[in-house]
Amino acid sequence: MKNYFELLDRIPLLSGIDTDPIKVIKDETIITNWQNKRKIELAKKSKNSEWADIGIICNDPFVVILRDLVEFPDGNLGSYIRLYNRAYIEEGAAGVVTLPEKDGMLLLMHNFRHATRAWHWEIPRGFGEPGVDAEEQAKAELSEEIGVNASDIGLVNLGVFYSNTGLEGHSVNLFLAHITSSGVPNQEIGVDELRWVSVTELEKMIADGEITDGFTIAAYTKAKLKGLI
């Protein structure tokens, strides 16, 4: 739990402020007492006692998962889980999502995703990298995933997006990327096809459920409402 408290102290954003309606408890005695009671409750239900653990419960190279003890507005205590991109915690780097555009057409890639074990039509995206700003990261992702040279990319910042505010604490940066070359699929990361579509075709794919990726829908929505596509 020492590392957990050190993380909260190092990044004040993770603890919040006293006026927040849901408060993060940092008193070790209160946490220990709650954990002991919770473990007894779980044991009576033949549930996993680890569900009562408070602190850093997953310390992965890419993501960090916290389970906090929090005080809700009614004064009750309970556990709450949240997930962060590691780079976002370590260096403040956010992930990036880029919507490629060329001559009024938008580029989609057909990508196999391990998490869903399914193919998805989506646009390039990636985790943040410590010490790399969002614009540089966006160009790197386009280069890696569709083979576009950095010199052929012009970026327009569309703002930030939170994918799941009930779980993920980090934001991602959305970009419209004007590119001058066509790109090629990177089969090594599970991309087997690239498709150029018009805005109307992309909208139909969303309406028909052919595009279900939230990042793609978010980037398209921002670009469309800003009058950029």
Same domain, yes or no, for 218 and 132?
yes
pLDDT digits (tens, 9 = 90+) for 17-75: 989 999 999 999 999 999 999 999 999 999 999 999 999 999 999 999 999 999 999 99
Task: Give Cα separations from 133 to 4, 96, 98 (angstroms).
Answer: 26, 10, 14
Q: Report the C-alpha gap between 139 and 133 in whole angstroms.
A: 10
Q: What is the pLDDT of residue 183?
A: 79
Q: What is the pLDDT of residue 90?
A: 86
Q: How many CB atoms lie within 10 A of CB 172?
A: 24
Same domain, yes or no, for 131 and 152?
yes
Domain assignment of residue 47, given as a range = 2-90
Same domain, yes or no, for 53 and 84?
yes
Q: What is the pLDDT of residue 36?
A: 97
Q: What is the pLDDT of residue 149?
A: 87
Residues in the chain, pLDDT under 70: none
Last-in-domain residue among 39, 61, 90? 90
Q: What is the pLDDT of residue 92?
A: 78
Same domain, yes or no, for 188 and 157?
yes
Q: What is the pLDDT of residue 66?
A: 98
Same domain, yes or no, for 113 and 79?
no
Last-in-domain residue among 30, 58, 90? 90
Q: Is the dihedral of CA 146, 148, 150, 153 positive or negative?
A: negative
Same domain, yes or no, for 105 and 192?
yes
Number of structural domains in the chain: 2
